[in-house]
Amino acid sequence: MKRIFALFMLILLIMPSFLVSAEQNESSKDEENSEEEGSYSSKHEVVYSTLNAVGDQEEMYVINNFSIEEPGTIVDYGPYTNVQNLTNVSEIIQEDERVQIMAQEDEFYYQGDVEDKPLPWTIDVTYQLDGEEMIPEDLLGEDGELQLQINTDKNEAAEPFFFENYLLQMTITLDSDRYDNIEASEGTVANAGKDRQVTFMAMPDKEGSFSINADVTDLEMESIEIAAVPPSMAIDAPDTGAMTDDMSALSDATAEIHRGVGELKQGIAELNIGAASLYDGSSQYNNGVQELNTGSTELVEGSAAIQSSLATMSEQVGSSTGDMNVEDLQELEEGLNQLSGGLKDADTNLANLKDEFAEAYEALDQAIEAIPGYDISDENIEALYESGADEEVIDQLVETYQSAQTAKQTYTNEKEAFSDVSSSLETNAGSISELSDRLLNMVNQASGNLEGVDFADSIQELQQGLQDLSSNYNDFHSGLVEYTDGASELANSYQEIHGGISELTDGTTELEQGASELHEGTGELAASTSDIPEQMQSEIDQMVEEYDKSDVEPVSFVSGENEKVESVQFVIKTDSIKKEEEEQAPPEEEEEKGFWDRLLDLFQ
């Protein structure tokens, strides 16, 4: 017991001097370090900011971290309203925006509170429940269909560096017991324990608009957590060899289309020339056919008159054989001469008609043959539509091409009928000429035998000849009527064909103009796609450069005077929307024991 008491007294004697010595050593050490200038290799800033539930900025503070190289006094800058040492108990001296620190450890931390310094982003949060916009306080405990909308943009009142070079990552945690049917088209939805976590990303230098739709029961919501950091990965440019090869193939294809359209344009120009020639030939043919139809009517009427005259003369000669004298024969001779002259005129008209028809038919044939017989497949037409050319022009091209080929095919199918008309005209003209010659010969024979001839025998012979002539002429007249009926039908039908050829000519003229415009368009397309591979590579390089922030040099958020800034990060949180928890009585605190109590406890 005496030993314990002696030890206790010794401690009482030694302790004050020990405490004084420790305080003096610590003070001496601080004074020594404060007189020396320290250095640091890098500085890191983490900016913490709180927002209310709709995104309005409330509080902000910055945690500054230094990697110390040499212990001693270091200087930092910032518009802090208050500073706090988070590493040790050494004093931090602040004069305006200058902060003086006595740093000893390898890593030194201090906190600076900031007021009225805006974040680089504006963050706007709105809430709708069942389509009605509501303030957060009124949402608490409600049920319905919730739409949460977050819009981010550049804050014009802040330093633009961070908006241009930092990305925002927003995380919203939703209780699975309260939220169902969660949809976030611009973000990702993942499981986080029993909760669902929705994440959105706003790229550097871009405004963002993000929304969540969900069914909610007894609404409560955790804080929206927002982190802002520079993209941490360097973006490697992709291997674009295969793509540029494909783009080169596309460029070559558009050039080939342009050449093909040039050939098409040339073909359409030839088609237009052929269509114009066809129209000229068709006009001549149509005029000839119409004249043929008109002349045929006159021809049939004249032939009917000849047929009637022959029949009448044959009857008169037969009925007056015994009473006929020289004067009667002379009168008959004169009538036969007139009849023969009429046949000659009909023969001449028919010959002229035959020549006109032949000339018109030849012009038509040449015009039809001038239409190009290109075989343009459905695949070619589909490729033309896919080339990006004016579809209205392509429709005109296709319609004109089909009309031209239809006209050419129709003519080919009916060519034999046109030849038959020409042959029929040739045959009928020959028949009329033969009848005229026979009648004229008959008149000459009768005229030479009028004197000193037995009238009975001569008249009988004349009557027989007139009967034969009348019979033959009846056959000719029937054929002539049949022919003129066909000519009339041909004239009426060809009027419609000629109208179609006229429309075809108008169409090919417009078509040629459209083909010229199409050729100009494909020329522009070919010119614009000729450097697609280079353009694509340039766009990729620009995109990589836009989002690759790996070489961006960090700057201090709080002051441009700060040096060796290695990183700056932002941690932002909104207020949660939650019910207030009931306050619980704090546990009873045990009375803190003094030195003597603790010392006495050692001996108990």
Per-residue model confidence (pLDDT) at position 350: 65
pLDDT tens string 81-92: 999 999 998 999
The dihedrals phi and psi of 346, each to the nearest 5 degrees, come to: -65, -40
Cα(372)–Cα(152) distance, integer angstroms = 65
79, 600 contact by CB (below 8 A)? no
pTM (predicted TM-score): 0.48
- Among residues 183, 229, 230, 187, the alpha carbon closest in space to that of 208 is found at 187
Output the DSSP codes for 375-418.
---HHHHHHHHHTT--HHHHHHHHHHHHHHHHHHHHHHHHHHHH
- Among residues 571, 546, 580, the alpha carbon closest in space to that of 165 is found at 546
Residue 534, SS3?
helix
Return the half-sphere exposure (C-beta side, CA atoms, 13 A cut-off) of residue 96: 1
Cα(257)–Cα(387) distance, integer angstroms = 7
Structure tokens at 217: 């029961």
Per-residue model confidence (pLDDT) at position 67: 96
Per-residue model confidence (pLDDT) at position 326: 56
Dihedral over Cα of 247, 250, 256, 259: its sign: negative
Per-residue model confidence (pLDDT) at position 236: 46
Q: To the nearest 10°, report the CA torsion of 127, 129, 132, 138.
A: -70
Residue 576, SS3?
coil
Cα(28)–Cα(20) distance, integer angstroms = 12
Per-residue model confidence (pLDDT) at position 143: 97
DSSP category for residue 141: T
Structure tokens at 590: 């045990």
- Angle between the N-to-C axes of helices 532-547 and 241-319, in degrees from 0 to 180, rounded to the nearest 10: 140
pLDDT tens string 469-487: 666 666 666 666 666 666 6
Per-residue model confidence (pLDDT) at position 523: 72
562's CB contacts (< 8 A; 6+ apart) are 43, 76, 77, 78, 556
Rounded to 5°, the CA angle 312-315-319 comes to: 140
103, 39 contact by CB (below 8 A)? no
Burial of 422 (0-12, 13-18, 19+ CB in 10 A): middle
114, 84 contact by CB (below 8 A)? no
Cα(522)–Cα(524) distance, integer angstroms = 5
DSSP category for residue 555: -
DSSP-assigned beta bridge partners for residue 111: 63, 84
pLDDT tens string 377-392: 777 777 767 766 677 7
Tell me how crowded residue 104 is: count the other CB atoms within 10 A of its CB: 15
Cα(117)–Cα(52) distance, integer angstroms = 16
Per-residue model confidence (pLDDT) at position 16: 47
Cα(38)–Cα(34) distance, integer angstroms = 9
Which residue numbers in the chain have pLDDT < 50?
A: 1-10, 12-30, 32-33, 233-237, 450-453, 455
Cα(94)–Cα(82) distance, integer angstroms = 9
Q: Catalogue the long-range contacts made by 437-442 (C-beta closer than 8 Å, 24 or more residues apart).
A: 438/469, 439/336, 439/339, 439/340, 439/343, 439/469, 440/337, 440/340, 442/336, 442/466, 442/469
Per-residue model confidence (pLDDT) at position 9: 46
561's CB contacts (< 8 A; 6+ apart) are 77, 97
Q: Catalogue the long-range contacts made by 350-353 (C-beta closer than 8 Å, 24 or more residues apart).
A: 350/299, 350/425, 350/428, 350/429, 350/432, 351/429, 353/288, 353/291, 353/292, 353/295, 353/425
Helix (H) or strand (E) run with residue 552 in it: none
